[in-house]
Amino acid sequence: MEFLSQSFLFPAVLAFIVGAAISALFFMARMTKLERQNAELTVQIRNEKAALERAGAELDNRFKLTAQEALAKSAESFLQLAQEKLKAAQADGAHDMEKRSKAIETLVEPVKKQLETLSQSVEQIKGTDMNLRAEVQALSKETARLVGALRDLPRKGRGGSISSKASSKNPV
């Protein structure tokens, strides 16, 4: 009888050791995969932050150029209109205050329209900037969550191996 129990003991111990080795290999493969994903996400976040900074700088440059163009056009239009009105006023000579007030309103109206258009452009740029910042923030949170998960894996011990097996059956 002792002979039979010893002959069964060796295969049982061997099966346990093989099972433990397979579990360890599975755990190491899963951890390597998670570390690779973390590294990829970190690189992706860095690239997206750099892209956001470039986009912000490009938007700043576009805004400056648009503002300069609008100002130049408004100033040129204003000067031209003012010269025309001045010539007409000099030729006419005797304008009363009400006519002058209307002339000033006519001169200011194109500038007012240009400023309103410029204001709308600025609001659109602000909306785009906020959307880009929200996307970068969401990616940062996801990376932090993955880093936390990687840090917690060694602390979980055997229970971590079991949950790793369960999570590997349901890939994310």
What's the total number of domains in the chain? 1
Tens place of pLDDT for every residue, the chain, 172 residues?
Answer: 455 456 778 888 999 999 999 999 999 999 999 999 999 999 999 999 999 999 999 989 999 998 888 888 888 888 888 888 888 777 766 556 777 788 888 888 988 888 899 888 888 888 888 888 888 999 999 999 999 888 888 776 555 554 555 555 555 4
Separation between Cα atoms, residue 143 and residue 162, nearest integer Å: 23
**What is the distance between the terminal CA atoms of the chain, rounded to a whole angstrom?**
51
**Residue 90 structure tokens:** 């000099």
| Domain enclosing residue 150, as ranges | 2-169
Q: Is the pTM here over 0.85, yes or no? A: no
Separation between Cα atoms, residue 109 and residue 98, nearest integer Å: 17
At 160 the pLDDT is 52
At 157 the pLDDT is 56
Distances (CA, A) of 166 to 30, 47, 50, 160: 11, 33, 37, 10
Separation between Cα atoms, residue 110 and residue 71, nearest integer Å: 11
Q: If you count them, how many residues does the chain have?
A: 172
At 23 the pLDDT is 95
